[in-house]
Amino acid sequence: LGYAGVVRFRGVRIGGISGIFKSHDYRKGHFECPPYNQQTIRSAYHVRNIEVFKLKQLKRPIDIFMSHDWPRSIYHYGNKKQLLKMKSFFRQEVESNTLGSPAASELLQHLKPTYWFSAHLHVKFAAFMQHQANSKEELPKATKFLALDKCLPHRDFLQIIDIEHDPSAGDSLEYDAEWIAVLKATNSLVNVTQSSWNMPENNGLHAKWDYSATEEAIKEVLEELNHNLKIPCNFTLTAACYDPSKPQKHMEPVHTINPQTTEFCAQFGLTDINDRIQQAKEEGSVRGEYEEEEEEEEMDSTGSAEEPSEYNTDNSGLSSINPDEIMLDDEGGDEDLSTCSVDPSPDHPPDFSASFSDIRIMPDSMAVSSDDAMDSTNEELEKAGVSKQVEEKSLNERPLKRIGGNENGNSGIKKIKRRNQAIYAAEDEDKTE
């Protein structure tokens, strides 16, 4: 799927987007490549606005969509009471509707997939979101959302779901003609620099803002492939397999051009981002340095309660401390640490709790609990005072989630620590938690 993409398997249309949503509209290009420095290693995995833009050009139905972050507001469509019981430190962001990614929420509203699967928050949670129909003639669509816990003993990290498919279709992954057409149409928008790049909008500043695929463009893709959409099995090793008998602790990573990507881009006349970055490096126009231009970025989303920011060094504004998280000690960074929410657009109401807090229609195959069959808003408010006292006490007792550098702002060597390391060695996790 790459940074973002759509493929088909036995008639099932599967889309996805990789990375963390650092902000609502992260506008830099894909400029990072090995060897990374302390800044680029943190920005490399952030979702760019161009990937969101491409996915929003899709018009045909999506069966399954996957993202790392949860779409913002999805918690209002499921067993919110049970979620807060399991992850009490989500409460503040759930109540202020700032948990999750607003960009993922936009994609959810636009794509309306049958299923949406996410990760990130290390908790099993299911939701059922009924979308509004665009017209009286259109049948309303619904999305079944599911997130699972992390893979540890006694945790809900696995669930089997039956998906309707074409049993007569082949057992190979296939290209999606509409997605290929969108990639070809948006190829001119590719950016491999650190410069901010706004996507075209219907605001009078752009001659073209609609890059969706026409039926004619889709037909051209099919003809180009001779109606054979099968994705070739052309995997090629680009790095030696790890050999524990020959450790190479200080081996510096190098920028490698992936032959699969090269072949894919050549076949459809697309820009190979990795190759373009390599060319720019050789020409000296791109360096492995990260010029801090954060003033132009919208710091309107921290991604989630569990990941307020990958570079957060100020703990004063954090409402959530996740005992499952991997913590980076002595992590530096000068980025803004605001956790303000995004002003919703007219198409996305700011608060769904009033309208949907009583909706608990859970598919049998995705049900988490039946405890929340009725609206629990009043009950939660009654307990809020007690919960906040307990939370404040626990925050004072527990070590801070992020530990910054010394008073002079200097950071030491990064040390990765697992807060839940004891779980792996424990015989019974319930006793340790």
pLDDT tens digit sequence for 132-186: 888 888 889 999 999 999 999 999 999 999 999 999 988 999 999 999 999 999 9
Beta-sheet pairing, 115-118 with 125-130 = unpaired
Is residue 254 one of the residues assigned to a domain? no
In a domain, 164, yes or no: yes
Quote the pLDDT of residue 25: 66
Residue 69's nearest CA partner among 22, 118, 3 is: 118
* Domain coverage including residue 79: 4-239
Q: How far is CA 399 from CA 232, 234, 393, 402, in A?
A: 50, 48, 12, 9
Tens digit of each residue's pLDDT (9 = 90 or more) over 273-300: 989 888 888 877 544 444 444 444 433 3
**pLDDT tens digit string along 19-43?**
888 766 688 888 898 888 888 888 8
Please, are residues 211 and 57 in contact by the beta-carbon 8 Å criterion?
yes
**Does 245 reside within a domain?**
no
- For the chain, the domain total comes to 1
Classify residue 416: in a domain, yes or no: no
What is the C-alpha to C-alpha distance for residues 204 and 266, in angstroms, rounded to an integer? 34
Q: How do beta strands 125-130 and 142-147 pair?
A: antiparallel
| Pairing mode of beta strands 64-67, 12-17 | parallel
Rounded Cα distance, 383 and 101, in Å: 27
Give Cβ neighbours of residue 327 (< 8 Å, ≥ 6 apart): 401, 402, 403, 416, 417, 419
| Residue 121 counted as domain residue | yes
Percent of the chain's residues with pLDDT above 90: 43
Question: Is residue 399 pLDDT above 70, yes or no?
Answer: no
Closest Cα partner for 217 from 158, 163, 176?
176
The more confident residue out of 68 and 423 is: 68
Mean per-residue pLDDT, 191-209? 86
Query: What is the 3-state composition of the chain as percent helix, strand, coil, each rounded to the nearest 5?
Result: 30, 10, 60
Report the largest interatomic distance among the alpha carbons of the chain, rounded to a whole angstrom.
66
Let me know if residue 301 belongs to a domain: no
**Residue 212 belongs to a domain:** yes
Helix ranges (DSSP H) in 87-214: 91-95, 102-111, 177-185
- Please indicate, yes or no, if residue 349 is contained in any of the structural domains: no
